[in-house]
Amino acid sequence: MLRNGQSMCRTGQLPLARLHLGSRSHTVVIADMEGNRVPADQQTEPGAEAAHSVPLRTIAREWTRIGCTGFGGPPAHIALLRQLCVDRYGWISPSEFEDGIAATNLLPGPASTQLAIFCAWRLAGPAGALVGGLCFIVPGLIMILALSVLFLAHAPPAWVMGAAAGAGAAVPAVAVSAAASLTPASWQRADSGAGRSRWIVYFIAGGLAAGLAGEFVVVVLAICGLAELLIRRPPARAGAHAWLAPLAVPAGATAGGLASLAWVAIKVGALSFGGGFVIIPLMQHDAVQTYHWMTGTQFLSAVALGQVTPGPVVQTVAVVGYAAAGIGGGLLAAVVAFAPSFIFVLAGGRHFDSFRTSARAQAFLSGAGPAAIGAIAGAAVTLGLELAHVWQVVVLAAALGWLLLLRRGVVVAIAAAAGVGIVLALAGLT
């Protein structure tokens, strides 16, 4: 028997911690090294010795499960990760999990993917981060590439065309819903009259950029973030904000072929602030107008596929990659888009606590965030202009009601819209 009410558990050799409240003793529910629930008299404090002790096979199994069942985008991913790591096994304390959410929301790129990588890193170190991240990403990637082959075929069946047209009609509604869901927290961050006036300016700038700036949307987001950063925290010396220099790289820095595809993917993975849907205005102009990899209608299908498949919404970039250069292009785009998320966690995971409280990071996001929300809303307009049939406008109106008024799920909205398109196509009405 150890001091302070601790004893040793032979199963997994984990020390047991008891919480003493008055004259009674209580234990905290956790899991053993195999991921199995430990009996009530054989438990340890969550987030202490249990961390960095979960086998890689357990990480692979559980993160693959989330990657296969994580329909619904970031909210669903966060809920599944919390249920697994905090509620079910107690591998990570609630406060640390919330810190992980806060820190990843300050980073560019797909926040829920970064959270999945961070949780795996917390439990099994760098190897866990790599295994967990890949197992979270790969199932959805395989599914979306398979669907890309079907939906982007040169002569797809009528029902496929109908499904694409129906699902695509709901996509602008999804963009409006995404912008609406991001607005309250961003608006609350601008807690002063002057701050909220700037918020409106940044929002309008992002909205205009989505329609007019094309591939330079990311530059507009960066300018808005830098403007707010300079207003809140003027630099004390030259180069004080040199860490933001990569954001100023012009969109034309790469040109032609796979280099252009890689640049589009790096914008998605390393330069996008404000949630998964901000990737839409970042990719749309490049994919449709600049490089002509796909038509506007096909881009709507790509966005819809990213919504209805499990895993990160950023998987949409793989559809663009497939349209540009086949399966190899889809894999290249996915690797380039997701690589920054692994780098951010592996290089900076131990600093997430200080990063989430960084005044500079908060200030930058207070400018880039509203611009990103505006860009998402602006993308809804440009996506809506791609609709070619009256019945698609009706589907769009129904999807807006479903998402904004009834506040129901995105996956159901897109699946139902696809079903309407299939019925109409088979009836010869599309």
Query: What is the pLDDT, as a whole number, of residue 95?
Result: 84
* Domain ranges within the chain, ordered by starting residue: 1-50, 56-133, 134-426
What are the φ and ψ backbone dihedral angles of 28, each rounded to 5 degrees? -105, 135
24 three-state secondary structure: strand
CB 374 within 8 A of CB 202: yes
272 three-state secondary structure: coil
What are the φ and ψ backbone dihedral angles of 357, each rounded to 5 degrees? -100, 5
CB 64 within 8 A of CB 75: no
pLDDT in tens, the chain (430 residues): 444 444 333 333 333 333 333 333 334 444 544 545 544 444 444 444 444 589 999 999 999 999 999 988 888 899 999 999 999 999 999 988 988 888 888 888 898 999 999 999 999 999 999 999 999 999 999 999 999 999 998 888 999 999 999 999 999 999 999 889 889 988 988 877 889 999 999 999 999 998 887 768 888 988 999 999 999 876 655 444 444 444 444 444 334 589 999 999 998 898 777 666 777 887 888 899 899 999 999 999 999 999 889 988 899 999 999 999 999 999 999 999 999 999 999 998 888 877 777 888 888 888 998 998 999 899 899 999 999 999 999 999 999 999 999 999 888 999 999 999 999 999 998 7
Q: Which two tokens stand for residue 189?
A: 């961050």
Query: What is the pLDDT, as a whole number, of residue 102?
Result: 82
Query: What is the pLDDT, as a whole number, of residue 294?
Result: 94
Q: What's the distance, Cα to Cα, between the start and end of the chain in Å?
A: 75
SS3 sequence of 127-148? HHHHHHHHHHHHHHHHHHHHHH
> How far is 23 from 296, CA to CA, in rounded Å?
68
Query: What is the pLDDT, as a whole number, of residue 39?
Result: 46
CB 123 within 8 A of CB 141: no
241 three-state secondary structure: coil
pTM: 0.77
> How far is 103 from 99, CA to CA, in rounded Å?
6
